[in-house]
Amino acid sequence: MAWVIGKLKCYFCGAKGGLFHSVHDYGIYGDVGKRIFYHSECLEMVEIEPEKFGHILTDRAIHIHELRERNIPFNLTIEELLISKVEKLHKFSFERMMPKKQ
């Protein structure tokens, strides 16, 4: 199944091209289940000189950092779960290669 997604836009500059990073969004700025896409350069520019970009973009940058911090423990549990599933698959594959017991 292919997902059709419209052109992604940077959260800060609004550009539709380039290399995007993303965080899972919820709360003030996003709908439930939505992702925030941004250029790392744009986030870095706001972090370096927040006074220059105003309170809305500064709040957005802070929001992205809070989402990253919240998602880190969750992502670690997902990674541990994936590793256990991969080990289980390797085990099943190895058992299939063994000769059948008579």
For residue range 40-71, what is the model confidence (pLDDT) as tens digits? 999 999 999 999 988 989 998 998 888 888 77
Looking at every residue in the chain, the average pLDDT score rounds to 78
70 is a domain residue: yes
Average pLDDT over residues 35-39: 87
44 is a domain residue: yes
29 is a domain residue: yes
6 is a domain residue: no
In this predicted structure, what is the pLDDT of residue 1? Answer: 34
74 is a domain residue: yes
Domain count, the chain: 1
3 is a domain residue: no
On whether the CB atoms of residues 36 and 62 are closer than 8 A, the answer is no
25 is a domain residue: yes
60 is a domain residue: yes
Domain membership of residue 88 as a residue range: 21-92
